A and B are shown apart, each in its own frame.
Chain A
């Protein structure tokens, strides 16, 4: 018998694989092994999938051009880019390939560009090329004065991180994976050659354990007796500008990176806004997702230099992402076959892009440790709703409205989200539990009015739904 998503005790019996953490990586791993016939349980402390670091990032589809050459991250981001691009087109995850322009704002940065271009080649990315000032200003006429040089990375794109994680989780669940939300892990004990994972919803027994616990991956790792890395959250504050600013730029505008961070970028978003950020501050608290006045002020200052016209535009949202940074400059991917334990920790900014490649890596490590998997995955016909601004939005599909008037009933005016989309999300296999979850699935409440017009209507829709998701 299936357990319910969000409450009740954990399912009895033995699982082949327990994956801890339902972010992009954990969901990708659960999808991968479930579709190959493994009995999988996906354990998540929070009340929803993709509600941690996976929901709060820059949503860039990285080519990996600027990774540290020779690292696992370099290899998996490049591979993940290919896999996710392909997967996105198959299941309808919003993506767009706008290309990036890295802009040098002083002589020192300009002199660093050839090295970055060479590094891109070392990472196997051959498309990066210098852009002179004339071309730079022709392609981005609204950027500030004083640029000293540019580098084009045509492959960089945007991807919807919400849909990505949700698609993985939905396919995992469809393939028989048990998803246990609100089930924080408090301990792990050896049991029958496998593991007993103690969670807030009871104990779960599994032969193999995968650590995809993101910010908490070091804690889980130490429960297994390892101490190879420590996660120090790197707080990134971000500002989303009004859609009316979207016309100001055409590419992802990257700064020249420093040792510590990729720096503050300005980018269109997949939802048609403009994104500014992130900051990068190491913080002690893994739960504090607060913006700060100093952080927001520094972003506004950076934004006014990169794209001065941003200043007159309204801010639609601010948010914080906590990257799972460690003392190492690489993913913390380790296999412990004797222990039947695989760690996929310390996955930083590139985790969404790398997710499918990381899942492949984990699957191979599990197979090496004796997990029996089928050769070919089960067929899937998943199609995700398009919440991106590129391509046709649901409200624009006149034929669907003819068959269902709710497809033309716009509830969230700013983001043009229809009643049919909200009902579909509420009735989906992994329904949202709160307004934030509904926002990630439909864009409702994501817009400039932040609920002034439709806040009460959306609250009522949530109220009337059974978000517990008994299946």
Chain B
């Protein structure tokens, strides 16, 4: 049996593995996951803290154990996982060229699920000026160095960002023997849960410097200091450190999505997807943090489970990809996902649309409208940048498939 007799999932993180396992459970065969790393499991492999598996596995695991659990489940379900293999070219509808230690070969699967995840914007993409010394990295690199390689990374860090992952970087640094000078955020306050914040303040004595940005990095070989600028006053000060950790500011790893010819959403920068997680390219689906950068691993795994029946249905009777209506969001909203309605009938993952805001908004009221017609409105509580709010999905049935884009706005 050849790989392309069945669906192919690109990316062996939580969403990709969960999609594959569910596709096998629904009777599809073969089901293949293509993973470019040496081992499947995705980002949780090096997120060595508790809190994984709550919503999908109904248990609490560390990241590495969670990744291991999914590898076992995939093996148990007879999912074919091709590690160290990368989709390096994509032509036509679904002609994929793979490169790995076994060589280069072409496949043309009947359906593809893109589950390539997201990454943190590095320093350069954030246009932080200064010199280019060693000691500047993202949380993921930090975690790999500390948890996978047991390396000493430095003595004193400045962390850019104040989201959940930023506080996770604080914990990783503590584990690796480095202290934290402080967390810097341009926003008026931190974005994590109060409990996390309080925990970090007490346990690691890490201050949060809000409305502040890193305006320069100094050091020749190694980071020696950063210059911080208070946004409102313009005052600058220098903080000595030998590490700068750039956290959060997630961007989908969307190169393959673009190569596949899928349209991108201007907000998420991932593929446009409908509630069934179909992209704008026939036979191409997406799941996980590629389409909502970034949610926790369990949410991604639930996406994977969610996309499976839609893929299975498509494999049973492909037919034409229906026409679609866009769902857009207005400022201060950053994005909505899913962001496309192809045909009614499918609910989105976890029966909700996810929303992200660029600003803090307390007691936010959200309105969904199309062509001047209100489809839904209601309160979603506090909007926090970098954290998702959600609205129910029932209104999608009332959308006019021939109408203008649906607009979601803060009222």
**Of A23-31, A154-162, A311-319, A339-347, which stretch is located at the interface?**
A311-319
The answer to whether B101 touches A451, judged by C-beta atoms less than 8 angstroms apart, is no
B2 within 8 A of A: no
Give the distance in Å from the alpha carbon of A315 to the alpha carbon of B84 in the complex.
27
The answer to whether A450 touches B149, judged by C-beta atoms less than 8 angstroms apart, is no
Chain B residues near A292: list those with CB within 8 A: 129
The answer to whether A402 touches B101, judged by C-beta atoms less than 8 angstroms apart, is no
The answer to whether B102 touches A408, judged by C-beta atoms less than 8 angstroms apart, is yes
**Of A80-88, A248-256, A282-290, A322-330, which stretch is located at the interface?**
A282-290
Considering only CB atoms and an 8 Å cut-off, how many residues of chain B contact the other chain?
42
The answer to whether B216 touches A408, judged by C-beta atoms less than 8 angstroms apart, is no
Among A318, A395, A414, A452: residue with most chain B CB under 10 A: A452
Which of B99, B104, B121, B137 is A451 in contact with, Cβ under 8 Å? Answer: B137
The answer to whether A455 touches B137, judged by C-beta atoms less than 8 angstroms apart, is yes
The answer to whether A405 touches B129, judged by C-beta atoms less than 8 angstroms apart, is no
Chain A residues near B130: list those with CB within 8 A: 290-291
The answer to whether B151 touches A459, judged by C-beta atoms less than 8 angstroms apart, is yes
**Of B139-147, B193-201, B390-398, which stretch is located at the interface?**
B139-147
| CB contact under 8 A between A451 and B125, given known A288-B131, A405-B102 | no
B123 within 8 A of A: yes
The answer to whether A410 touches B86, judged by C-beta atoms less than 8 angstroms apart, is yes
Chain A residues near B122: list those with CB within 8 A: 448-452
The answer to whether A413 touches B124, judged by C-beta atoms less than 8 angstroms apart, is no
B120 within 8 A of A: yes
Give the distance in Å from the alpha carbon of A414 to the alpha carbon of B220 in the complex.
26
The answer to whether B131 touches A395, judged by C-beta atoms less than 8 angstroms apart, is no
The answer to whether A291 touches B99, judged by C-beta atoms less than 8 angstroms apart, is no
CB-based nearest A residue for B118: A452
- In the assembled complex, how far is the CB of residue A194 from the closest CB belonging to chain B, in whole angstroms? 34
The answer to whether A452 touches B120, judged by C-beta atoms less than 8 angstroms apart, is yes
The answer to whether A398 touches B138, judged by C-beta atoms less than 8 angstroms apart, is no
Give the distance in Å from the alpha carbon of A450 to the alpha carbon of B125 in the complex.
9
The answer to whether A290 touches B131, judged by C-beta atoms less than 8 angstroms apart, is yes
| CB contact under 8 A between A244 and B258, given known A449-B119, A452-B140 | yes
Chain A residues near B134: list those with CB within 8 A: 434-435
B251 within 8 A of A: yes
A-B contact count (CB 8 A): 119
B88 within 8 A of A: yes
The answer to whether B145 touches A456, judged by C-beta atoms less than 8 angstroms apart, is yes
- In the assembled complex, how far is the CB of residue B345 from the closest CB belonging to chain A, in whole angstroms? 33
The answer to whether B104 touches A452, judged by C-beta atoms less than 8 angstroms apart, is no
Which of B36, B102, B125, B266 is A410 in contact with, Cβ under 8 Å? Answer: B36
A293 within 8 A of B: yes
| CB contact under 8 A between A315 and B99, given known A290-B131, A296-B129 | no
| CB contact under 8 A between A244 and B145, given known A450-B123, A452-B138 | no
Among B88, B101, B145, B266: residue with most chain A CB under 10 A: B101
- In the assembled complex, how far is the CB of residue B367 from the closest CB belonging to chain A, in whole angstroms? 27
Chain B residues near A405: list those with CB within 8 A: 101-102
- In the assembled complex, how far is the CB of residue B10 from the closest CB belonging to chain A, in whole angstroms? 12
Interface residues of B in 105-139 (CB under 8 A from A): 119-125, 127, 129-132, 134, 137-138
Which of B123, B137, B216 is A290 in contact with, Cβ under 8 Å? Answer: B216
Contact with A along B58-88 (1 / 0, CB 8 A): 0000000000000000000000000010101
Contact with B along A432-465 (1 / 0, CB 8 A): 0011100000000000111111011101100000
The answer to whether A401 touches B103, judged by C-beta atoms less than 8 angstroms apart, is yes
CB-based nearest A residue for B123: A450
Would you call the interface of chain B mostly helix, strand, loop, or mixed? Answer: mixed
- In the assembled complex, how far is the CB of residue B47 from the closest CB belonging to chain A, in whole angstroms? 13
- In the assembled complex, how far is the CB of residue A333 from the closest CB belonging to chain B, in whole angstroms? 31
Which of A243, A435, A455 is B144 in contact with, Cβ under 8 Å? Answer: A455
B100 within 8 A of A: yes
A110 within 8 A of B: no
Give the distance in Å from the alpha carbon of A409 to the alpha carbon of B100 in the complex.
5
- In the assembled complex, how far is the CB of residue A139 from the closest CB belonging to chain B, in whole angstroms? 24
- In the assembled complex, how far is the CB of residue A281 from the closest CB belonging to chain B, in whole angstroms? 13
CB-based nearest A residue for B100: A408
Chain A residues near B120: list those with CB within 8 A: 452
Give the distance in Å from the alpha carbon of A459 to the alpha carbon of B134 in the complex.
11
| Interface range, A side | 35 or more
B215 within 8 A of A: yes
B320 within 8 A of A: no
The answer to whether A456 touches B149, judged by C-beta atoms less than 8 angstroms apart, is yes
B148 within 8 A of A: yes
CB-based nearest B residue for A240: B124
B232 within 8 A of A: no
| CB contact under 8 A between A408 and B258, given known A448-B125, A456-B144, A459-B149 | no
Chain B residues near A290: list those with CB within 8 A: 129-131, 216, 218
| CB contact under 8 A between A455 and B141, given known A408-B104, A409-B100 | yes
Chain B residues near A230: list those with CB within 8 A: none
The answer to whether B104 touches A398, judged by C-beta atoms less than 8 angstroms apart, is yes
Give the distance in Å from the alpha carbon of A315 to the alpha carbon of B141 in the complex.
19
Which of A244, A316, A410, A460 is B124 in contact with, Cβ under 8 Å? Answer: A316
The answer to whether A456 touches B36, judged by C-beta atoms less than 8 angstroms apart, is no
| CB contact under 8 A between A396 and B99, given known A244-B255, A290-B131, A459-B151 | yes
Which of B100, B102, B141 is A456 in contact with, Cβ under 8 Å? Answer: B141
Give the distance in Å from the alpha carbon of A396 to the alpha carbon of B151 in the complex.
33
The answer to whether A314 touches B99, judged by C-beta atoms less than 8 angstroms apart, is no
CB-based nearest A residue for B103: A401
Chain A residues near B255: list those with CB within 8 A: 243-244, 414, 448
The answer to whether A289 touches B101, judged by C-beta atoms less than 8 angstroms apart, is no
Give the distance in Å from the alpha carbon of A413 to the alpha carbon of B119 in the complex.
13
Interface residues of A in 347-394 (CB under 8 A from B): none
Chain B residues near A79: list those with CB within 8 A: none
Chain A residues near B253: list those with CB within 8 A: 449
Which of B88, B101, B119, B220 is A453 in contact with, Cβ under 8 Å? Answer: B119
Which of B104, B123, B132, B137 is A319 in contact with, Cβ under 8 Å? Answer: B132
CB-based nearest A residue for B130: A290
A66 within 8 A of B: no
CB-based nearest B residue for A295: B129
Chain A residues near B119: list those with CB within 8 A: 449, 452-453
Chain A residues near B251: list those with CB within 8 A: 314
Give the distance in Å from the alpha carbon of A289 to the alpha carbon of B219 in the complex.
10
- In the assembled complex, how far is the CB of residue B242 from the closest CB belonging to chain A, in whole angstroms? 16
The answer to whether A459 touches B216, judged by C-beta atoms less than 8 angstroms apart, is no
The answer to whether A395 touches B149, judged by C-beta atoms less than 8 angstroms apart, is no
Give the distance in Å from the alpha carbon of A243 to the alpha carbon of B256 in the complex.
12
Chain B residues near A319: list those with CB within 8 A: 132
CB-based nearest A residue for B121: A314
Could you list 6 A-B pairs, sorted by A, with CB under 8 Å? A314-B121, A315-B127, A319-B132, A410-B99, A450-B123, A459-B149
Additional A-B contact list (6), CB under 8 Å, known A406-B101, A408-B100, A455-B138: A291-B129, A402-B103, A413-B36, A435-B134, A450-B138, A455-B137
> Which residues of A does B touch, CB under 8 Å?
243-244, 287-293, 295-296, 300, 312, 314-319, 395-396, 398, 401-402, 405-406, 408-410, 413-414, 416, 434-436, 448-453, 455-457, 459-460
Would you list the 10 A-B pairs with minimal beta carbon distance, nearest first? A456-B144, A405-B101, A450-B122, A455-B141, A398-B104, A452-B119, A291-B129, A290-B131, A317-B124, A408-B101
